[in-house]
Structure 1
Amino acid sequence: MTDLLPLWRDLLLGGFILLAYTTEAMTGFGSIVIALSLGALILPIDDVQTVLVPLNICMTGFLSWRHRNHIDWRLLGRLIMPFMLAGTVLGYWVQPVLGGALLKVGFALLVLWFVLRELRRAARGHVAAPKSGWWSRGIVLGAGVTHGLFASGGPLLVYGLAGLSLDKARFRATLILVWFSLNSLLTLLYLNQGRLQPLAPHVLAYLPLIPLGIVLGERLHHRVDEVTFRLWIYRVLAVSASALLLASLLQLG
């Protein structure tokens, strides 16, 4: 029986990864925060994160090229990438100091607050207004910090972009390129640290799940209307944050 435990663990993590990358192919974000939150229940968070990041660049690299005509280059260059990149470097640099379970609990609670707030607004028919310039930049910078810490900058970035006139195709394509760029940087940093090399066989083992997740996510993306798409985003965030909160509380216990 004990010999089967690693197999069940690997199969379960594979299921989490397939769910996560199907979601990202559909919505443009959420893969790492979902898989990391769920995977942390059965494996160390650092190991799961190190496997997920290079897998993510395989999927987002393909999708970025495929949907390159929908990328909002102006938004990417003026707001998202400068502040996300700076925040990611900062988050990676302070990770040894701030990367504990308490910070993950705070992050999960912040995401849950945002989700409940936006779902309440949606139920009342309220349309989110664009954030002011410096407030928006601050949120995007914070998203970069959480990406450097947990490779999970999607929730705060979505919050920072709320109220902008982006249809679902531009929203998804732009975010996917962000994750491809930042996760390529993190992969190089993991290689430099020596974190990735021991886990490379696991990355290769889960690689076949990427095309399957892309096919499933693409089909769902084209079958879902704009309003439902937005609700999907909030539901993804709610599940992700709840799982992350649970994993962090278990770690504290």
Structure 2
Amino acid sequence: MEFMTFPWLLLGVFIFFAFTTEAMSGFGSIVIVLSLGALFLPISDILPVLVPLNIVMSATLSWRHHQHVHWPTLWRLILPLMVLGTLTGYGLRPWLGDQLLKNTFGLLVVWFSSRELWRMWKGIKIAPHGAWWSRCWMFMAGISHGLFASGGPLLVYALGGLFLEKKAFRATLILVWLSLNSLLTLVFLLDGTLLPAVPSIGLLVPVVIAAIVFGEWLHHRVNEERFRQVVFVVLWCTGLTLAWPGRMLS
């Protein structure tokens, strides 16, 4: 792979924007980069770069905000289902076409982000999901993570109604991505796709560090309602990009 070509330089811009979003909100980095980057580069080339880069950010932020993690939700609810789903999704990747997965996932993201924006605009209160409904969506979020390394949108929907405070919500999600992306990085090492990506990972680490600093600055200056609006507007936009029926340019 040639890492100083225009598509890879453009990917660096997408990474700064997306990782700033995750540093501010707790999720969104890979789904945003993947939806934009897949227009110019193959998904199979992008994921082994993005997943280790996400570890750089999530490890940094997890260390800084570990005191806000809601441990019972993490250990008893999220991780068991999402680890199982992630391994399932990774196993499905060779059998499913990239374009169909991209369009279907995008439609799903547009649906639920539109739903949340409508709810906030109308002032509709969040109704807690039933236990089995939440667990099903967490497993689906894991499958999405195994396929795209982007389980954030579905996990956010699955967690609806838990009413976690903003700091706990963000810190818990960041630790989820640290755990799952560490698992995926190990899988990429075993399947031989990680080592060829090491040069680009090294070049893009400073971009991630800059995004962390900027995202942290934004996080402390955005109120609760504005925070949620920004998160779901970003998800709606990226979902629309994923769902667009045109062919990828890569």
TM > 0.5: yes
Distance in 2, matches of 1:141 and 1:64, equals: 23
Distance in 2, matches of 1:6 and 1:192, equals: 26
Aligned to 2:77: 79
Aligned residues of 1:102 and 1:252 also touching (Cα < 8 A): no
Distance in 1, matches of 2:19 and 2:97, equals: 24
Q: Note the C-alpha offset of 1:99.
A: 4.6
Q: Note the C-alpha offset of 1:129.
A: 1.1
Distance in 1, matches of 2:21 and 2:203, equals: 20
Aligned to 2:234: 236
Aligned residues of 2:119 and 2:125 also touching (Cα < 8 A): yes
Determine if the alignment matches structure 1 residue 249 to structure 2 residue 246. yes
| Cα offsets for 1:34-62 (capped at 9, x unmatched) | 01111111111111111100000011011
Determine if the alignment matches structure 1 residue 98 to structure 2 residue 100. no
Aligned to 1:47: 45
Determine if the alignment matches structure 1 residue 57 to structure 2 residue 55. yes
Aligned residues of 1:99 and 1:149 also touching (Cα < 8 A): no
Determine if the alignment matches structure 1 residue 212 to structure 2 residue 173. no
Q: Which of residues 190, 203, 206 is equivalent to 1:192?
A: 190
Q: Which of residues 140, 150, 153 is equivalent to 2:151?
A: 153
Q: Alpha carbon RMSD of aligned pairs, Å?
A: 1.7
Q: Note the C-alpha offset of 1:174.
A: 0.2
Determine if the alignment matches structure 1 residue 30 to structure 2 residue 31. no
Aligned length: 249
Distance in 2, matches of 1:84 and 1:58, equals: 20
Distance in 2, matches of 1:162 and 1:249, equals: 32
Distance in 1, matches of 2:223 and 2:134, equals: 27
Q: Note the C-alpha offset of 1:9.
A: 2.1
Structure 1 runs not aligned, ≥5 long: none
Q: Which of residues 129, 132, 147 is equivalent to 1:131?
A: 129
Q: Note the C-alpha offset of 1:98.
A: 2.2
Residues 58 and 107 of structure 1: is their aligned pair in 2 closer, same or farther, counting only changes over 3 Å?
same
Aligned residues of 1:145 and 1:153 also touching (Cα < 8 A): yes
- Residue identity matched to 2:34: L
| 4+ residue runs over 6 A deviation | none
SS in 1 for 2:11: helix
Q: TM-score, normalised by structure 1?
A: 0.95
| Cα offsets for 1:95-118 (capped at 9, x unmatched) | 111253112211110110111111
Aligned residues of 1:105 and 1:249 also touching (Cα < 8 A): no
Aligned residues of 1:136 and 1:161 also touching (Cα < 8 A): yes
Percent of aligned pairs with the same amino acid: 55
Distance in 2, matches of 1:87 and 1:207, equals: 28
- Residue identity matched to 2:156: V
| Cα offsets for 1:120-175 (capped at 9, x unmatched) | 11111001111000000000000000000000100000000112111111110000
